[in-house]
Amino acid sequence: MSADSKTQVALQFAKKVTDNKGKISTQDLETFKAAGFNDEDVMEIILNVVSNTLTNYVNHIAETIVDFPKVEAGKFSMTV
């Protein structure tokens, strides 16, 4: 979740790309673009989802040992 409305739209779009395995409705795409994004932004989000999915799958199969501290969501906050 983001306090910035445009960032929130991008996060929601990325989640829909992930949850729906790339099958995005026309309405979802229109909502994303109405927030000020363009085709290049669509591609950037898709490529980030794909990149993260690929590395996650590889790490699951390779049983990669995570060697950095676990991050707890919401533990730290930033004020502007």
| Number of residues assigned to the chain | 80
Q: What is the rounded distance in angstroms from the CA atom of residue 41 to the CA atom of residue 49?
A: 12
Nearest to 29 by CA among 47, 52, 10, 3: 10
pTM: 0.74
Q: What is the rounded distance in angstroms from the CA atom of residue 37 to the CA atom of residue 53?
A: 23
Check if the beta carbon of residue 51 is closer than 8 Å to that of residue 43: no
Q: What confidence tier does 78 reach under pLDDT thresholds 50, 70, 90?
A: low
* Per-residue pLDDT, 70: 80
* Per-residue pLDDT, 27: 97
Q: 11-70: per-residue pLDDT in tens? A: 999 999 999 999 999 999 999 999 999 999 999 999 999 999 999 999 999 999 988 888
